[in-house]
Every structure is written in structure tokens, then in C-alpha cells.
Amino acid sequence: MYSRRSAFRLLCRCLLLSGLAHGAAGAAGAARPNILWITSEDNSPYLGCYGDPNAETPNLDRLAAEGVRYRQAFANAPVCSTARSTLITGMYATSLGVQHHRSRVAIPAAFKLYPTYLRAAGYYCTNNPKTDYNLKNAGQPWDESGAGAHYRKRAPGQPFFAIFNLTSSHESLVAPKAGKTAFRVPVGRIVLPPYHPDTPVIRRDWANYYDQVTKMDREVGAVLTELEREGLADDTIIFYCSDHGGALPGGKRSIHESGTRIPFIVRFPEKWQHLAPAARGAWVERPISLVDMPPTIFSLCGVPIPAHYDGVPFLGVSQQPPPGFVYLFRDRMGERHDASRAIRDPEFRYVRNYAPHRPWGQHCQYAHELQPSMRSWFAEFEAGRCNDAQAAYWRPRQPEELYELARDPFETRNLAVVPAQAARLGEMRAKLHAQIIRRRDTGFIPEGMFDRLAGQKTLYDYAHSDSYPIEAIVTLAEQASSYDEKFLPDLRTALENGNPVIRYWGATGCLILRGKSAPARAALRTLLDDDWPDVRIVAAEALGWHGELDAALATLATAAASSEPYVAMEALNALDNLRLAGAPLARVQALVRGLKLDDPAVRIQEHLLSLE
């Protein structure tokens, strides 16, 4: 008797043979739409059709007038590789362990990437040109991927699924080129978000960014013109969206609206207009996120939706009712560890920070080197010229955040501390907790433990086994990140637990409490000899805040020299942060100088050695 998964594989094989036969006969596209998917990079809804008065985007405005706009569309993660990993797998990156920026983690071989299923159903699938997945075993799921990939190379009559990825709005192009002084939107007319200080440098980067968005729009126009010239517009459903939110500081990498809300437009030609969710030019209010895209494409194309997919189809014959919220996550960004989760419903965003002792604005070498506006913002903060909304990016965070978006679109007023919102806070807290458990979120496992815990299997397999007591771990992580010393007895008990992930969160809670965790010092010292490097690292940093810098620095120096890149990275993160606990910069520099490190640890090393 076949299992559900075996039956699905058999169906896909049948569809593959059927699709190939139809392709050879030149008739496969007769009853199925083509899909053209245009993506841009690093841009929030800074478009005319989304009401931005500074935008000049006539091609996307026309596409929106001829199609529908989703008002509440989101990337599940605010950075490229994690968002794309979610897309290509049809699963939350956190379900698979591929949530960390530019990691390489294997996923179960049975989980094929979505172009594989489309190709099995007879579609010609191209990707032009970006991949950028956090997958060790991505393989080549496309018929063609690269700068020359194009739908016109398909067999006669074969339906196509084609991605064109546009990079003009990427954060690497935010800063104007040397000598550029004139901008389409004068710098004095730029209306800054309230979290940005008003400096000439920040205004200039914003003005230049609008120029880049206009350039991107022209590129969209060229793709659309080509489709019409090929005579395919009447047979093609067109999608446009960005991979995540805006490129300016405080946008990309932020789990808030500025980093996760995206423009999302769909145009249906006349023959497929019956599949549209609303009339041409209308807004669609249903919340959607990128994890919903693969099952939605399958629903439109008549392809069976794999049972392991996390997303919900929002168009086509298989569409389902909306779940009521989208699930968002932020983990390691570049060389800096973090762990935050959020849910966003039509009215509110709830954020849970599991590393609140770290600021949103941890030094990220890539962003700081590329963006003068990032450096300008930090300089204003250091000089004491930022108000509370502007300084919050550089300060430790609250464990919980709650925002009412209609009244506070820039999320500067945290309602989690408002007594009148206690009931709503508790409701959204419970929803997020349940979602984390349901999806077996792997983000609570230190990255340096991945391979050893997974063994010969994948991290997904480990996370779906009894070896991963996720309910206990997430509950402990909530206690550890609460700043509440009433949980210290639970944290001390966790330090002696047989599970290394639980010991890690017990030590993390002691680190977050700093001096208030003094009764746990003896147990923390014991963990300096723990079998697991990640446990030793966080215990050492916690002890550093209790004045035991010699023992802490010795432990971290050994870990920083590790051949395991994520162990070394975490050790260097701890060394950098212990400067706040009084570790002399010269001593820290002496410990890291001469280490032979790989990316991403080498970026922290370079940062530390550049300080004076």
C-alpha cells in the first residue's frame, strides 16, 4: 500500500511523462497559463501605485492598474538568501534549518525544489539569473538558470514558468556613485522615516535610492514589452514582487514592516481573468507571504501541491482560506547572531526577541561598508543626537514588541508595555508560540551544533524527532529572554540538563540577566568545560559580566581558533560584546590577531582589528 508521499511521487512521474509527451506534440500550453515572475531586490512598496509620492514607476503602476495589488504581502525573512530559501523549498526556512544568512544546510532528499515539480508537470522553467539559496544540496532544479536563461528556449507549445530578477534596487546601489549630485527627487523634498536622523548623507542615499527604483521600473517595462513582442501576453499570468523590504538602514534585515512588507502585483490576461481575486486595479486585503507562492503557482498551473509544503495557496483551483497571520523570522545576518520571530495579522505585528541583549543594529561589515547612511546614523547615535525612536536601533531591545500598524506605520510605539493591550499581547504571544511548535522551528538550536546533532541525517530530521524537545526549549528561551530574574531557578536547573540546547538557553538567560544571575556563577564556571563549544561560549560571556574576564577570555580565545566556522564566529561575537563588560580592546585584539578564519568569522576579526 502506498504512503501519501509515495503516491505523490508516482503522480509526479506520471505528470512528467505526460508533460514531455504534450511538449513533443506542441500542445502542452493549450489549457495552462504561462507564468512570468518578475522580482526586484531590497525594496519595500516604494512605488507610485502603492501611494509613494516620491516614486516614479510608470510601468509597475500600469501593471497594477491592469492587475491587482496585495496591500499586505510579506517576505518571511528580511534578507535575500533566507527569503529565497523559503521560496525555492515551499517551506519556512526555519522548518528546515536554512534560516541563517548565507549558510549551507542539507534538506531531506525527498523535498524537491518547486521547479522540479513544475518541470515534471511539463513546464519549461527558467531563472534569470539569481539563486542564492542556503541549501547544501540544491542541485539544478531549473531547465536553465543564469544570465541567458529565457522562456523562448522552450519546446514549441510548451508552457513556461520564467523568473527575471532585477538588481537595480539592491542595497549595494543605495549610495550614489562618486560625483553624482543631481537626483530626480531633490534631497530637500525627501520625507525621512521617523527612525532616521536628518543628515545630508541619509537624505542623499534616500534620493539616490528612488533613482534606482525608477531604473528598476524601466527594466520591468523592458521585460513586459518583450513578452508582448513575443505574442505571449495573452497567455501569461504576470507576478511582480520584491524579495524583501527596503535597502536603506533599518529596512533590510529588520523583522518589522520596513524589512518584510513588499509590493506584490498580479496581472491576469483576459483568458485567465476568471482566476483573478478581484477586478482590475483593485486592492486585495488578504495577508500573504512568500512561502505561499509555490503552492499558489501550482494551484494556477494544475500541479499537485506537495504534502510537506508550509504555504497556503491564495489563487487558483486549490486556494484555501487565509490562516489569519503571516509568520516572520530573523536569524543570523551576515556575521551577527540573532533570533527573533513575529506574526503579522491585518492590524497588528507582534515580535518576540530571543536575543534582546543585542541591538538591532549590530555591526554588519557588508552594510556598514556599503552604506554611508548607516555610518551617518551610527555617528549621530554615538554623538547623542538621536531621539528615542532613532536611538532604539542601536540599543538593547525589549523582549516583546506589539504595534498597531494603522496608527503607527513606522512601529515606533511599542504597545507591549501598555496595560490596555495585555489581552491582545497574550493572544498574539500564544499564536506565535503555537506556530513555532507546530513548525518545529530549528532557530532555537545554536548554529554550531547543527552538524553534530543531525549526525548522518538532516537537521529537519533531527528537529522532527523526540531528540528535539521543542516545547521545553521554546518555553525556556522565552524565560531566558524575558530579563525577569524570577526565572533564575529555572535557568540554573537548565544549566545541569543533559540536553546541550537546554544548557545553552540556560546560560543565555544568565547572560541576559547579567549581574542578577550571580547565584548561577558556580554552575556557569562548570560549563566552561562543557562538551559543546556553543555552551562554553555563552557561559564564558555570562561570566565576563560577573567580572571573571580572565577565565572568559581564555575560553573564548580557544573557541575563536576553532576550525568550525560558526563556533569561531560565535566566540568572536562574544569577544566583541565583552568589551562592554570591561574587556580591554587591546587585549581582545591580541587574542584575535593572527587567527586564520573563514567567512563569516573573519568579518568580526577585521572589525575588531580596525577599532582604535
Say if CB 210 and CB 48 are below 8 A apart: no
3-class DSSP assignment, residue 194: coil
Asked whether the beta carbons of 322 and 344 are under 8 A apart, the reply is no
Contact 443, 431 (CB under 8 A): no
The helix or strand, by DSSP H or E, that contains position 395, with its residue range, turns out to be none
- What is the Cα–Cα distance from 111 to 96, expressed in whole angstroms? 10
Strand partners of residue 329: 341
Q: Are 511 and 542 in contact (CB under 8 A)?
A: yes
**Shortest CA distance to 365 belongs to which of 573, 101, 604, 169?**
604
Q: Which helix (H) or strand (E) holds 328?
A: strand 326-330
Position 11, amino acid: L
Residues in the chain: 612
Element spanning 71, H or E = none
Can you say how many angstroms the Cα of residue 502 is from the centroid of all Cα atoms in its chain?
25
280-to-62, 66, 604 alpha-carbon distances in Å: 11, 5, 50
Crossing angle of the two packed helices 470-480 and 500-513, in degrees rounded to 10:
10
Beta carbons of 607 and 576 less than 8 angstroms apart: yes
Query: Cα separation of 477 and 471, whole Å?
Result: 10
Which position among 12, 14, 49, 80 bears the catalytic label? 80
How does DSSP assign 46-58, residue by residue? -SGGGT-TT---H
**Main-chain dihedrals φ then ψ at residue 31, nearest 5 degrees:** -115, 10
> Which residues are registered as beta bridge partners of 289?
74
Side chain identity, residue 581: A
384: left (phi over 0), alpha (psi -120 to 50) or beta: left
- Specify whether 80 is catalytic: yes
What region does 428 belong to: left with phi over 0, alpha with psi -120 to 50, or beta?
A: alpha
Whole-number Cα distances in Å, 570 to 533, 535, 561, 585, 605: 9, 10, 11, 18, 11
Whole-angstrom distance between the N-terminal and C-terminal Cα of the chain? 69
Return the bridge partners of 164, or none.
38, 128
Catalytic residues: 80
